[in-house]
Amino acid sequence: AEPALAGRFARGLMLPREGQLDNRQALRALAAGLAQRGVELYWHATIDDANRPDAHFTIDCRGLGAKSVLPALRGIRGEVARVRAPGIGLTRPVRLLHPRYPLYIAPKQDDLYVIGATEVEGEDMSPVSVRSALELLSAAFSVHPAFGEARILELNAQCRPTLPDHRPAVIWDGATTLAVNGLYRHGFMIAPEVAHAAAAFAQATLGGAFADADAFAAWRDAARWPTLLHHRDDARQPA
């Protein structure tokens, strides 16, 4: 399945139906699709609790910027390297299960690879540390020695918005705002389902489906992922 790894490992687990995408290409395609449909896009616009948009319904996707309304939200730092390595030819995401350096290598177009897996508690937004860079690149080299000749294009660090249970949440304020947050490190894997739930909820709200708490509870219990949905005053809301 991956000839580049032949003879290098005693055994591996093949997931033939595992999907992947290039997150940057996906975001560009989504933005282009919205523009083609006449959706007004306001890039780099400042939005905070005192400066809410004048809209029939608002979906709050601010990540860590929403800590004022989700005080239990915290950041977990992650670091990745983006390299160009012609000639290796990996076609699927590869994970190295190592007791010290768990690693993923995600192939992209034009011989690009994203190498990551670091996870550090804390909201440190500083650049990638030397230790993390060494661990990531050394682990990649152990997967295939040709990564030793790869060219480093980027070293990036950012913090993942995380709730105490490490699960995403869609939280309704009882009025016209829906908070979508806590996707942790699984954003692109579960984003389609979370987006579907948020859009369905917004449409139901605008249609007057939630006249009282019982109506909300009934709608949630019938949803595909009921544990994803919360009311601001609900005991099921993430702590």
The region of weakest confidence among 7-11, 108-112, 147-151, 180-184 is 7-11
| pLDDT in the model for residue 10 | 87
Q: How confident is the model at residue 117 (pLDDT cuts 50, 70, 90)?
A: confident
* Tens digits of residue pLDDT in 20-66: 889 899 999 999 999 999 999 989 988 877 777 788 999 999 999 99
Q: Which residues of 154-186 are buried (b: 16+ CB within 10 A; e: fewer)?
A: ebebebbbbbeeeebbbbbeeeebbbbbbbbee
| pLDDT in the model for residue 94 | 94
> d(Cα 224, Cα 238) in Å, to the nearest integer?
19
Residue bearing the bigger pLDDT, 53 or 132? 132
Domains parsed from the chain with CATH numbers: 3-21+75-162 (3.30.9.10), 47-73+166-231 (no CATH)
The region of weakest confidence among 16-20, 169-173, 180-184, 191-195 is 16-20
Is residue 212 pLDDT above 90, yes or no? no
| pLDDT in the model for residue 97 | 85
3-state secondary structure of 137: helix
Judging by DSSP bridges, how do beta strands 169-172 and 229-231 pair with one another? parallel
**What's the mean per-residue pLDDT of the chain?**
91
Is residue 238 pLDDT above 80, yes or no? no
Q: Is residue 5 a contact partner of residue 12, using CB atoms and an 8 Å limit?
A: yes
Those residues whose C-beta lies under 8 Å from the C-beta of residue 213, and which sit 6 or more positions away, are 231
Is residue 219 pLDDT above 60, yes or no? yes
| pLDDT in the model for residue 239 | 54
For residue 159, list its beta bridge partners: 77
Is residue 189 pLDDT above 90, yes or no? no
Between CA 25 and CA 76, with CA 13 as vertex, the angle to 5 degrees is 50
**Token couple for 160:** 């993942």
What is the residue whose two structure tokens read 């937004």?
Answer: 125
* Tens digits of residue pLDDT in 81-104: 999 999 999 999 999 987 777 789
What is the residue whose two structure tokens read 């806590």?
Answer: 182
For the chain, how long is the longest CA-to-CA vector?
Answer: 63
| pLDDT in the model for residue 48 | 77
Mean pLDDT of 133-155: 96
Query: Does the predicted TM-score (pTM) go above 0.95?
Result: no
